[in-house]
Structure 1
Amino acid sequence: MLTYKIFEDRGLVEVEPKSKLTAADFKVLTESVDDYLEKHLRLHGLIIYTQFFPGWEDWDAFMKHLCFVKNHHEEIEKVALVTDAKIGTLGESLGKHFISAEIKHFAYKDYERALMWF
């Protein structure tokens, strides 16, 4: 399950994985982000906020996640990985080679610091 909020006034999307991610999670997120982008053209930032990354429900969910990244990475200026999961450090190092957004990892307790980064 993935919850999310769009802060239109700041141009930010915050996603919070709560349990294994599903293909349906990315369908709903994609629709909402696309609706925002029709009006604003770009997102200032994306915050991924989870203490521990729960993984994906199945291969389809993983592929939908990759499609979301592929289809939106050029429209997002910055991505904050706010997590204590090891994937945060890995995502920061690897992501720089595959997406155009600037990526930065923050410890889970540093949510406020991550917000100030935008």
Structure 2
Amino acid sequence: MLEVTLDKEWALVILEPKGTLTEADFVSAAKIIDPFIDERGGLNGIVIYTEHFPGWDSLSALLSHLNFVQDHHTKIKRVALVTKSPVGKILQTLASHFVAAEIQTFSYQNLSGATHWVAGT
């Protein structure tokens, strides 16, 4: 399950995986995020908040994730990876070659700092 919290005031989204990611998680996230992007033209950013990266339950879930990134990366200014996982730094390096958003990794204890950075405050 992917918990999606849309903060309209700060124009940001916090994505919090609560287990292995599914194809439906990204469809549900888009249903929450897309109307806001359509209305406001974009997001200040997304905060991905997870102690450890949970992975995907299937190849279709991975493909759905990649499609989500492709469909949204030009409409998002910043992405904060807030995690204990060493995968965070690897994802930051890899993603920086494929997405328009600025990406930064934060320690798992620094959700507030990540949220402020994404919001631009």
Given the alignment of the two structures, is residue 2 of structure 1 paired with residue 2 of structure 2, yes or no?
A: yes
**Equivalent residue, structure 1, for 2:75:** 75
Provide the rounded CA distance (Å) in 2 between the counterparts of 1:48 and 1:34. 17
Residue 110 of structure 1, CA deviation: 1.1
**Equivalent residue, structure 2, for 1:40:** 40
Provide the rounded CA distance (Å) in 2 between the counterparts of 1:102 and 1:6. 19
Q: Within 5 A, what are the aligned runs for 1:1-118?
A: 1-118=1-118
Alignment TM-score, normalising by the size of structure 2: 0.95
Name the aligned partner's letter for residue 23 of structure 1: E
Provide the rounded CA distance (Å) in 2 between the counterparts of 1:112 and 1:38. 27
Question: Considering only aligned residues, what root-mean-square deviation do their CA atoms show, in Å?
Answer: 0.7
Residue 47 of structure 1, CA deviation: 0.2
Deviations 1:61-107 (A, max 9, x none): 00000000000000000000000112210111111110000000011
Q: Secondary structure at the residue paired with 1:81?
A: strand
Q: Secondary structure at the residue paired with 1:19?
A: coil
Q: Secondary structure at the residue paired with 1:105?
A: strand
Provide the rounded CA distance (Å) in 2 between the counterparts of 1:79 and 1:97. 13
Unaligned residue ranges in structure 1 (runs of 5+) = none
Residue 30 of structure 1, CA deviation: 1.0
Deviations 1:47-68 (A, max 9, x none): 0000011100100000000000
Name the aligned partner's letter for residue 54 of structure 2: P
Structure 1 runs (4+) greater than 2 angstroms displaced: none
Q: Secondary structure at the residue paired with 2:53?
A: coil
Name the aligned partner's letter for residue 42 of structure 2: R
Q: How many pairs are equivalent?
A: 118
